[in-house]
Amino acid sequence: MFKTYPILLILFIKESVQFGTNLTLPYLLSDYFLLKSIYSLKINHCHSKQEINSIHRHFKGSGIKVKCENVNKNNWIHTAMAGGDYSKIGVYLDMDCLTNKTYNIITDEIKNYTGSNYHWLIKIGNCNESFTFLNALPLNWDSQFSLLTSDGKIYQLHKEGKSKLLSMSNTAIWNSIELKTIKTVTKEDLNGLAVKGFISVYADPGVSGILNYLRTKTNDPRDNLAKFSFTLHDILIKKYNGKLKLYLANRTETGKIYKFINGSLSYYSGGQFYMLEKGLADIGLYPAEPLSAGLDKMSILPSITTFRQCFIFKHPRRFTKFMDILSPFSSIVWSALIAISVLFVCLMRLTLYHVNDTESSTVFQIILVISSLTQQGLTDTCERMSKKIIYFSLLILSTLTYGFYNASFLILMLSPPTKYINSIEKLLNNDIQLGAEDVPLNRFQLITNYNNLGEKSQSANFSRPEMFYSLFDGVKMMREKSFAFFTHDSNILSLVETEFKEQEKCNLAEVDVFKPFVVSSFIRKNLPYKELFARGILLLKESGIIARESRFWFRKKAQCFRYDEYIVADFKSAYFAYAVYFFGICCSITLLGLELLYLNKLKKKK
């Protein structure tokens, strides 16, 4: 749920003759400020006690908390503003209440209360005198001032960019019964205003080279997201005739976007979010995921792109491991073949139980069954019918087994290679080493908020520091060994384009862990140009500019122009066959040597 903050309204009230009765003014004020979601009022007045009591009675039960003070007291403005931490302050001022004070004194008293969180409604009699007063005020471009004329019309004032001139637009009218809204003022031109933007980058191009760096695509893709966001907002600010004043983050703060508070995801309390909350920056240019936790401190613009994190790795080729030769048959088939072989050995041994020669031994029968199944064969006489039946059964079994095995093996060899590791479960069950880019966001995702992966495998314990690598080291390890690297997909794919060979690009596979999420830029709370930037972002989307810039800055897929449509079995997959072959040769030579030594000893004894 969103947090609701009480909002302070300070009213400076005197009797309004034009509105007919003293009770008319409270109705106007309640309608006007409730329209702005203001629920706490401090009324500074120059009314009689009876009139103040009637105001209290009006607001009683309305949900608006009211406190009254006399406007003619010393330090009235500071006393009224003191107390409480409010995101918005409403101020009503009747110029007739301050007849004993000059405009210079009034200007000096309220000069510290003209920021965007102060909403002024000033009751005026003489427009020319009031404009002289307002022009003397040190207004900011984001100050919120409205005028209430004697005929009930409400005009909104705003300063046009750097200009000292004030513009006025009629936004509402009070007819002594109800408040009618006429239109909402929209600012369509910044008029040379310098908008304060905050951005963080990994590189250190220096103050003089930062703008050129943000507009140039380099071999280091880590800042491409920031450059993409800067480009879009730079287009908008130029379109609206403004200027961008940049503030840079400390390099150690780069990537610190989120934090975990009481089991909920929130924004990091430093960097651009601190600048926006304190009003030191107008726009946060480093995109992040929109969270409800930050809505009370800043405003969020429409999303500009989708952020995707995943594991990227070279998918293992089939028949590059010894166990791949077992893939044509399932584990049940192999278990059945082993059981049948043992059964045949037992039957052969039982059949030749009463035969006392070398060929009736258990070892010989094992060799005989294996050679029959592998279609190698041995010379043997079949004098007994039971033995002939066993041999015939072995022949049928070996023929069918070899037929199915060869057919399956041939189909696997001729079929296009498939990437069978397509989920995090299969990745964890494989013997691929895991690692992640060493940035604060990844550390948060994999350590603090990585419950699913941690529950599925103890080997995926990313709390170990050695599992985090720099982007360039991670890409190098991906190329040299069986290694899955977790990072922003565009960053690593940009390096893959230059570091990997064509065939290596084709072997790459991606496994998502979290759902991709949209990211947005941020603006300061109560910024009067919020709607201007929001409409501008939507305009950039509809015109295709965001899509064009996204294609330029981000790499969504590794381009693969050469892909083998067949499987190549390498030495790794056949090493066991060579090992058995050389083991047999070594055993034969060893046994031959022992036999020769034994014969020599027998000859010497004779």
User: What DSSP line would sit under 39-95, residue for residue?
Assistant: -EEEEEE-S-HHHHHHHHHHHTTTT-EEEEEETTSTTHHHHHH-SS--S-EEEEEEG
Tokens for 124, please give them: 């005026």
Q: CA 187, CA 177: separation in Å to the nearest integer?
A: 30
Q: What pLDDT sits at residue 485?
A: 92
Taking alpha carbons only, the member of 472, 460, 467, 466 closest to residue 513 is 460
Angle, CA 107 vertex, CA 102 and CA 113 arms, to 5°: 145
> Rounded to two decimals, what is the model's pTM?
0.62
Q: Which residues, at least 6 apart from 153, have a Cβ–Cβ distance to it below 8 Å?
A: 170, 172, 173, 174
Q: CA 347, CA 393: separation in Å to the nearest integer?
A: 12
Question: Scanning the structure block, which residue is given the tokens 């995101």?
Answer: 87
Single-letter amino acid, residue 28: L
In sequence order, the β-bridge partners of residue 158 are 167
End-to-end, the C-alpha distance of the chain in Å comes to: 103
Q: Which CATH architecture has domain 188-308+517-569?
A: 3-Layer(aba) Sandwich (3.40)
In sequence order, the β-bridge partners of residue 265 are 260
* HEC assignment per residue over 475-541: HHHHHHCCEEEEEEHHHHHHHHHHHCCHHHHHCEEEEECCCCEEEEEEEECCCCCHHHHHHHHHHHH
Give the SS3 label for residue 186: coil
Q: Residue 299 burial by CB count (10 A; 0-12/13-18/19+): exposed, middle or buried?
A: middle
Q: What pLDDT sits at residue 584?
A: 85
SS3 content of the chain, % helix, strand, coil (to 5): 45, 20, 35
Q: What pLDDT sits at residue 232?
A: 94
Q: CA 551, CA 394: separation in Å to the nearest integer?
A: 63
pLDDT averages per 10-residue partition of the chain, 606 residues: 40 40 70 75 68 78 70 66 62 70 66 72 69 68 77 77 65 84 67 84 77 88 91 91 81 60 62 80 86 77 90 79 73 86 80 63 74 69 73 82 82 74 83 84 66 46 75 90 89 86 83 87 82 89 92 83 59 72 88 87 78
Helices H / strands E in the chain, number of each: 20, 21
Q: Which CATH architecture has domain 8-181?
A: 3-Layer(aba) Sandwich (3.40)
Taking alpha carbons only, the member of 545, 488, 552 closest to residue 232 is 545
Q: What pLDDT sits at residue 235?
A: 92
For the chain, which residues make up each domain, given as ranges?
8-181, 188-308+517-569, 322-414, 571-606
Q: What pLDDT sits at residue 432?
A: 87
Length of the chain (residues): 606
Give the SS3 label for residue 267: strand
Q: What pLDDT sits at residue 505?
A: 83
Which DSSP category does 101 fall into?
S
Q: CA 89, CA 85: separation in Å to the nearest integer?
A: 10
Q: What pLDDT sits at residue 98?
A: 65
Helix (H) or strand (E) holding 43: strand 40-45
- Per the CB < 8 A criterion, the answer to whether 417 and 564 are in contact is yes
In sequence order, the β-bridge partners of residue 44 are 12, 69
